[in-house]
Structure 1
Amino acid sequence: MIVCVCRRVSDREIARHAHAGMSFDEIQFELGVATQCGRCESCARDVVDKCCSSGTHAAIHNESAKPVQLATSILESKAWPSSQPSLAV
């Protein structure tokens, strides 16, 4: 289900980050959830709270678990081309 319409962030994506041990503030910074209109903040916080209270952080505490790569740098994003010259006149 899409939680943040402005940023097209799903509950699964929020849960994946929460299961990786990120706090709501870290998830908000990483995904941009609840940073535009703000209507999704309570639902997004509920998803994080449910993930944290369910005690499913086993992969974080498992030393043999592979690290989770969450997102590429904004500088590497196709949506934010940083290496192209500005066309503003």
Structure 2
Amino acid sequence: MYVCLCNGISDRQIREVVDRGAGTLTEVQCYLPVANCCGRCEDTAQEVIEGHIESASRPVAA
């Protein structure tokens, strides 16, 4: 899904940047122009980042 319509940034792109080591919105913004125009997507972008970090830290069921 698109998170940032102004710049065409998807949740997948944000998760890829988090997988490369970004852990905050500010760090993601170093790689992607998300939440730097109108700002409406800032909360959603933050939720994607936090959700992806949380899901990566959960143990996988055997």
Identity of aligned residues (%): 39
What CA deviation, in whole Å up to 9, does each residue of 1:5-36 have, x standing for no partner? 11100000001111222122111121110000
Larger Rg: 1
> Which structure is higher in helix share?
2
Give the aligned length: 56
Structure with the greater relative contact order (CA < 8 A, sep ≥ 6): 1 or 2?
Answer: 2
Aligned structure 1 segments of 4 or more residues deviating by more than 2 angstroms: none
Partner of 2:29: 28
Alignment root-mean-square deviation, CA: 1.2
Taking structure 2 as the reference length, the TM-score comes to 0.81
Quick one: distance in 1 between partners of 2:56 and 2:2?
A: 24
